[in-house]
Structure 1
Amino acid sequence: MAQSFAHGNYSHTQKNVRNGGGRTPRDRARRTLSQNFLVDPHAVGRLVKAARPSGLVLEPGSGEGVLTRALAPEVEQIIGYEIDPLLAGKLAARTRGDTRISVVRGDFTAARPPREPFAVVGNIPYSITSRIVDWCLAAPALTSATLLTQLEYARKRSGDFGRWSLVTVESWPWFSWELLGQVGRESFRPVPSVDSGILRIERRETPLLPPAAMAGFRAFAELGFGGVGGSLSASLRQRYAKDAVADAFRAAGLDGSTVVAFVHPDQWVTLYDRLG
């Protein structure tokens, strides 16, 4: 299967690395920058379809430009960010004649977000996933982010394990999180040790809470995730009266002994409505 990809079979390089030899400067750069290039055309097509791109799109970690060139026909403009100077230079040279594509040599997470509506689409480096997600959530004009992440990360953030994380909960009134599929590790070169997931974060057209409640809700979620007493109810009773917490739990359809990770984000909104 590896030999059918357009970018060739790199298994011999990986074997040399495992054996301690053949580690070129480019090999070291790939490891340092967490570079695993998406080379499976079918997987590229699935990511583009999941992203539903249009208008302005930003791509973190453009790499060799496989995804960049696949996105370009669907959008008005795509800006690819690539921190590796060699890759950035090559991609800029290859796409110089395409006015839809701009290549920025630099760190995506250091970029200033556009003021106009935009989306983010990318096969992102595993090592800076949290930084990229935080950047996206903080960008006022972001409409959506469709990202290839480690599968475990995508499952945790989308609730696919049946549990919910603080990052998802505290942003839930304003953003939805969804796992849109799995991409096998064999779709990348070099081949990573884990599979990936297509994670889509989308800004809600109608927020579940007003923007003015954002700081309060986040503080409320952080209090609930504080872990005091081993349950959400115990954590909330640090600040709220016992009877008020019990009433809020009944309104949310929760038992008082429910562990925090198993509380659905929608139930968090109900709790905040009653207590916040």
Structure 2
Amino acid sequence: MSRSQFPRARQARTASTRKTLSQNFLADPAVARRLVASSGVGPDDLVVEVGPGDGAVTRPLLDRARRVVAYERDRHFVERLRSRLGHHERFRCHEADFRDVRPPREPFHVVANAPFGITTDIVRWCLDAGHLVSAALVTQLEFARKHTGDYGRWSRLAVTAWPEHRLELGMRIGRRLFRPVPAVDAAVIHVRRRQKPLLPEADLPDYRDLVELGFSGVGGSLWASLRRAVPARAASRACAEAGIARDQPVGLVPPDRWIALYEALTD
């Protein structure tokens, strides 16, 4: 291959890799700074960054955080970040799939322009991490709206996590602020661990079982699904105490009503 052909081949490889890894990088430094500012990260915080790419978010993170540990699957960007930012004693970049990484054993935050193709995996990883304080994740707009109740509906993921975490919709980011330009707009979803869970830890497995039962889809309403495990009179009483109508579709029941339903059933 001639030298004149090499840059074109390298560009093709990079574009192909980006597509495979769902990589869409923030092209506007101001948006990257707003993302970091919205995360609430401060000078005493450890931050885990997912898919740093060319470092658009990494740089403002280093201006704020005590330490930044980044995980990137694409060796090309790992080498570039190590070359450009490796002189920072507070920065480390590992070539690894974030989903295989063990969470830190100390309080930490996650900030990421998350690869769209593995967004659900990243959110679940964050929810399962015992020392997570918060996460600010750039996701597809529809994903962020779906899991924060912005459509007037609530997902099973959000309802299950609610006793320990708040899921909130953050700023929207137009698709043309990314390179390459994705097919849809994006938004930030904030995951914040509650200082005090809404239910005792010992009750959480039973609460999750209730959510699983409720979303089983039998009859369309939460009451109908609940009737599979609870007598009709008890189900009606608990739903009434929680402010849930008998014909209310399960997805339209807000998370706080689920908490009230669990408490009514376990009184």
- TM range, smaller chain: over 0.9
Equivalences for residues 42-57 of structure 1 within 5 A: 42-54=30-42, 55-57=45-47
Q: Give the counterpart of 2:116 among 114, 117, 126.
A: 126
Check if 1:76 corresponds to 2:66.
Answer: yes
Q: Residue 83 of structure 1 contacts residue 106 of structure 1 at CA under 8 Å; is this kept in 2?
A: yes
Check if 1:41 corresponds to 2:29.
Answer: yes
Amino-acid identity (%): 45
Structure-2 residue corresponding to 1:13? none
Structure-1 residue corresponding to 2:3? none
Post-superposition shift, 1:142? 0.4
- Deviation digits for residues 129-171 of structure 1 (CA, Å, limit 9, x no counterpart): 0111111111000011110000000000000000000000001
Q: Give the counterpart of 2:137 among 114, 127, 147.
A: 147
Query: Secondary structure at the residue paired with 2:207?
Result: helix
Post-superposition shift, 1:111? 0.5
Q: Does the C-alpha gap of structure 1 residues 23 and 102 become closer, same or farther in structure 2, counting only changes over 3 Å?
A: closer
Q: Which runs of 5 or more structure 1 residues have no equivalent in the other structure?
A: 1-21
- Which AA in structure 2 matches 1:104? H
Q: Give the counterpart of 1:67 among 52, 57, 61.
A: 57
Structure-2 residue corresponding to 1:58? 48
Q: TM-score, normalised by structure 2?
A: 0.93
Q: Which runs of 5 or more structure 2 residues have no equivalent in the other structure?
A: 1-9
Q: Give the counterpart of 2:218 among 225, 228, 232.
A: 228
Q: Give the counterpart of 1:107 among 92, 97, 118.
A: 97
**What is the aligned-residue RMSD (CA, Å)?**
1.3
> Whole-Å Cα distance in 1 between the matches of residues 142 and 203 of structure 2?
30
Equivalences for residues 227-266 of structure 1 within 5 A: 227-266=217-256
Query: Secondary structure at the residue paired with 1:66?
Result: coil
Q: Give the counterpart of 1:26 among 14, 27, 32.
A: 14
Q: Give the counterpart of 1:273 among 252, 256, 263.
A: 263
Post-superposition shift, 1:42? 2.0
Query: Secondary structure at the residue paired with 2:147?
Result: helix
> Whole-Å Cα distance in 2 between the matches of residues 192 and 178 of structure 1?
23
Q: Residue 49 of structure 2 contacts residue 112 of structure 2 at CA under 8 Å; is this kept in 1?
A: yes
Q: Residue 240 of structure 1 contacts residue 275 of structure 1 at CA under 8 Å; is this kept in 2?
A: no
Structure-2 residue corresponding to 1:136? 126
Post-superposition shift, 1:23? 7.5
Which aligned segments of 4 or more residues in structure 1 are displaced greater than 3 angstroms? none
Structure-1 residue corresponding to 2:185? 195
Structure-1 residue corresponding to 2:5? none
Q: TM-score, normalised by structure 1?
A: 0.90
Q: Residue 181 of structure 1 contacts residue 197 of structure 1 at CA under 8 Å; is this kept in 2?
A: yes
> Whole-Å Cα distance in 2 between the matches of residues 100 and 69 of structure 1?
12
Query: Secondary structure at the residue paired with 1:230?
Result: coil
Post-superposition shift, 1:82? 0.4
